[in-house]
Amino acid sequence: MVTNSEIKRLLRTKNGRSKNYSGIDLKNADLREVDFSGANLQNANFQGANLIRSNFTGANLEFSNLQEVRALFIKLTSAKATSVNFTDSDLSHGELEGIILTKAVLIGAELVESNLKYATCIECDFSYANLSGVNMAEATLKGSKFRNANLSFAVFQNADLENARMQKSILSYVNFKSANLHNADLTGVECFSSDFSSANLENTNFSTAICKDTELSSAVIKGTILKNARFNDIELK
């Protein structure tokens, strides 16, 4: 159990590097620029905390609560965040390359222009999140939910989105080059000027989607479902 004196020292020094803070309660704390790199923070409570420019590089945050945190420019590179709750948090401009987010909840979260390249996000929930300009190139996103999310200008090049659920999401100017969207559900999406070239769209569901100026050259479209979809100005090669 983390003692009160340890918490006071942390808040004073802003140095939590490689410490064991498992189960620590830092709800609503001001943790700006605190260094938690390499720390054990399993089952920690950060709900409502200010984590702007804090550093969690290589930290273990599994099963922690980060609901409603303000964490712009946060560093979570290669952190372990399995089953973490980030609901309604602001992680915009964050550095999350290589993070493990399996089964994490990010409903309504802000990740504007954040970097999640090479991230592992199996069965995550990004529903209603703002992911405008996010970089998820080469990320593993199997079975993740992006329902009603804003994905404008996002990069999913070479990402694995098999069985992803993206119903009614906004897909303007998205880069899906060479991405795997096998069996993904894009029902009712608004898709403008996005690039699916060389993507795997086998059994992908575009029912009722509105797609304009969408690039599909060399895409695999075997079994693709287009029921009641509206495709305008698409060049099929």
User: Strand 210-212 and strand 190-192: pairing?
Assistant: parallel
Q: What is the pLDDT of residue 233?
A: 59
Q: Given strand 230-232, what is the order of strands in its sheet?
A: 190-192, 210-212, 230-232
**Which H or E element spans position 232?**
strand 230-232
CA dihedral 212, 218, 224, 229 (to 10 degrees): 10
C-alpha distances in angstroms, 227 versus 136, 196, 205, 223, 231? Answer: 28, 19, 8, 12, 11
What does the pLDDT read at residue 175?
A: 98
* Structural domains of the chain ordered from first start: 12-125 (2.160.20.80), 127-237 (2.160.20.80)
Mean pLDDT by 10-residue block, N- to C-terminus, for the chain (237 residues)?
93 97 97 98 98 98 98 98 98 98 98 98 98 98 98 98 98 98 97 96 95 93 91 53
What's the pTM value of the predicted model, to 2 decimals?
Answer: 0.95
